[in-house]
Structure 1
Amino acid sequence: MAVLTMVEAEAGERTAAMPPIVVEPAKSATLPELMTKLRNERLVYVGETHTAYGDHLLQLDVLRAMAAHGGELAVGVEWFQARFQPVLDDYLAGRISEADFLRDTEYYERWRFDYRLYRPIVRFARENGIPIIALNADQELTSEIRRVGIDGLSGELRSGLPDDYDFSDKTYEELLRGIFDLHQSENAQFQRFLEVQLTWDESMAQRVAAYLQQHPAGRILVLAGKGHVSTRAGIPARVTRRTGIRGTTIATFSPSSTLSNAADYLVLANDENLPPAGLMGVFLDEREDGVFVKGFGHDSPAQQAGVSEGDLIVSIDGQPIRHFADVKIQTMDKRPGDEIELTYSHQRVLLGPETRSARFKLAGESPH
């Protein structure tokens, strides 16, 4: 494990499990120096904490460096499920809009994280003709495994399983057992939890391996959660089993990365945040007839503008709202203080629905 740049240890008790780390700045590399060293590496992983903007900026920097070295390059990402590869291809080719891309991949129903975290990476790939491979297993498959286990799957779902599983890594199993014991209820079954995790890792590894085998001169950058990359037990070991290619792992430094095998290279990235999002201060839910207001946050600008619980959202700035994803797409680039026009249907007692409009400025912090 190499650490790029200097670390200051926080005050605290020393433990045998996590001894102090010493970094010699004179021997630390910069990211450009590392990427020059890795210019001939066919397989690079960059782990992420999904909500950490700094992690995604590091991923973008690595992608830019790999693209600058030329040659055949692809990006494999956890953020999209494999069934939506044709939609991803259409967006990268310029055949559909970003809004249609997010709707048709069901991004906000399946991945849900703020798309602004990932947008610079996707746009860079689109602008530079770099394919993006949707690595993740289908939600329908993993949900059913969680319910009935692999052995209980129907024939149709079984066809979506990875071609091979390796259950032999006991260190991997022990790590997952620790996570399971912290978060699962007593009646949950660890075997099914393990099978879900393995299905994710084996499915993503299978797609990475397929790219490497189908593109003998190609390189691939794999972007996935640290849990799938760190210690190599997740995706990396399973790609190696299929291809013999080890690859290089990179991650940002964090307290958990003090393990000697957390990654081949740890980067001390800047702690950066996305620009604050503009918020209506509403809690929304979806039903058959559309998106409705379920409640309000503290000092909600929408409530102050006259919107009531139960009101059905019709449009935002003239753009129709039919699903929750439409709300996210229409407000994604709004900032605190930006003004929107909200059209909604209000159900009047005895008189029936009435369409109303309200203009108001968006709030700058999450409602509590």
Structure 2
Amino acid sequence: MRIALLLTLCLLALSGCAGRQAPPAGPAPAPLPPAGTLLDSSGRPIDEAEFTALAAKADVILLGETHDSACDHEQQARLLRLMSGPWATTQAPAVGLEMVPYTGQEALTRFNRGETSLADLPQALDWEEVWGYPFDLYEPVFAAARELDLPVYGLNAPHSVVRAVAHKGLSGLSPEERALLPQKIIAPEQAQLDELREVFSMHGAMRGAGGTDDDAAMKKAMEARFNRFAEAQSVWDTTMAKEALSVHAATGRPVAVIAGGGHVENGWGIAHRLHVLAPEVRVLLVMPWRGDGAIPSGYADVLYVCPLVHRFRLGMTLRQEGGRVVVQEVAPDSLAARAGLTVGDVVTRAGDEPVSGMGDLHAAGFAAVRDRKPLRLTVERGGKSVPVSIDLPPMGRP
């Protein structure tokens, strides 16, 4: 579950990397149910009517995602339709977006009024600059909102301000920057803070931050960086919670929030801030499920099944399924193609470590970049183990 939190760290650091996911403990997980299967918190399959009944009891429905997963966004759009369809017993939701700051609402308001087409929306939002992930991944969500006449709202703090917090802390903001944030930034619960610290430490180790464990100055610098990172995470979550409550009050609708899983899982991120700001608010946590082991207690109220697919900058697209990582696509003339990687290869080792999930590959990739060495993989192909060595460009990222 750390993959979503580490992705947030990478976004704040402007590194564009994906996160690490802890490998499943014990026996290999059972085959993943079909994409779109809905599960309750225990892993029991539920039908669409059950989901709709659960959503009808909530004021805020947090729909978590991995940002570059097309399957996740298709399922989010499907859930919006369920909450707006014949089984719905409450008013159809408004849609709140992590991807768009509340300062960009004017463009969304024109979209809500039908004045801006879906085709013109990316330019109106300056999507590539504001968010960066391809708009076509999110198009199903916007298309569903347009089809169902669901008003869409930006919830996030301006990204430039969040990045400023990550680089210089809340105390380093200019008065103009600070005025764009909630007056009170709600700190993480201890459990989230512990998780953030573990993820931050792992990220630093993978990047090879320099210095030694005995270097007092380095320790002090890393602690200051962590504190800024935690502040930035809190700014993100507090602002989105505050804005979601404002949308709920202004529209009288439940609010379906589209946000990265790190802001949703375990109720630590947005949900914690919602309950501090409005203790009576009813929240439903919805997360994607990849089939990686048992569902942790408290992780989410509802899960939708989507295999994890990630496109690496080395030119390979990998799919995680049932504790295996399979090559789904190799871009022609890419670094991966030139190294001999082929569709259908099963990645079994990265460096000297076994591979059971995407996170293992990211860790190996960071280590290779740090050590300025090729990324060494072992793949299973036609019943044989085949070594593959992918050269990395200077300062490249996996």
- Code of the residue aligned with 1:196 in structure 2: it is A
2:240 is aligned to 204
Q: CA offsets, 1:205-257, max 9 Å, x none? A: 11011122334x42111111110000101001111221221311111213387
User: Quick check: 2:248–2:255 contact (8 Å CA) kept in 1?
Assistant: yes
Match of 1:346 in 2: none
| Letter aligned with residue 143 of structure 1 | R
- TM-superposed CA distance for 1:86, in Å, is 0.4
CA distance in 1, matches of 2:277, 2:187: 15
In structure 2, the gaps of 5 or more residues are 1-22, 31-38, 210-217, 316-330, 335-397
Residue 26 of structure 2 corresponds to residue 14 of structure 1: yes
1:219 pairs with 254, 278, 283, which one?
254
The one of 57, 65, 81 aligned to 1:64: 81
Once residues 60 and 12 of structure 1 are traced to their aligned partners in structure 2, the CA distance between those partners, rounded to angstroms, is 29
Aligned pairs for 1:1-368 within 5 A = 14=26, 28-68=45-85, 69=88, 71-167=91-187, 169-184=189-204, 185=209, 187-188=221-222, 189-215=225-251, 217-243=252-278, 244-254=280-290, 255=292, 258-267=295-304, 269-271=305-307
Question: 1:139 offset after TM fit, Å?
Answer: 1.4
Deviation per residue, 1:253-276 (Å, 9 max, x gap): 133873211101223x254979x9
Alpha-carbon deviation of 1:147? 2.1
Unaligned runs of at least 5 residues, structure 1: 1-10, 282-296, 301-367
List, as ranges, runs of 4+ consecutive aligned residues in structure 1 with deviation greater than 4 Å.
Answer: 23-27, 297-300
Amino acid at match of 2:48: L
Task: Report Cα offsets for 1:288-321 as digits up to 9, x if no partner.
Answer: xxxxxxxxx9659xxxxxxxxxxxxxxxxxxxxx
Task: Provide Cα deviations, 1:328-364, integer angstroms capped at 9, x if missing partner.
Answer: xxxxxxxxxxxxxxxxxxxxxxxxxxxxxxxxxxxxx
- Report the CA distance shift for 1:154/1:40 in structure 2 as closer, same or farther (over 3 A): same
In the alignment, the residues of structure 2 paired with residue 227 and residue 112 of structure 1 have an alpha-carbon distance, to the nearest angstrom, of 18
TM-score using structure 2 length: 0.60
SS at match of 1:90: helix
- Please give the alpha-carbon distance, in whole angstroms, between the structure 2 residues aligned to 1:12 and 1:226: 18
Which one-letter code corresponds to 1:162 in the other structure? P
3-state DSSP of counterpart to 2:128: helix
Using the alignment, how far apart are the partners of 1:100 and 1:26 within structure 2? Answer: 40
TM-score, with length taken from structure 1: 0.64
Residue 63 of structure 1: how far off its partner (Å): 0.3
Higher relative contact order (CA 8 A, sep 6+): 2
Q: RMSD of the alignment, in Å?
A: 3.4
User: Could you tell me which residue of structure 2 aligns to residue 315 of structure 1?
Assistant: none
Aligned partner of 1:285 in structure 2 is none
* Counterparts of 2:271 and 2:43, CA distance in 1: 30
Q: Please state whether the residue corresponding to 2:185 is helix, strand or coil.
A: coil
The one-letter code matched in structure 2 to 1:74 is A
Contact 1:44 1:222 in 2 (8 A): yes
Equivalent-residue separation in structure 1 for 2:236 and 2:152 (angstroms): 18
Stretch of structure 1 that moved more, 114-123 or 179-188: 179-188
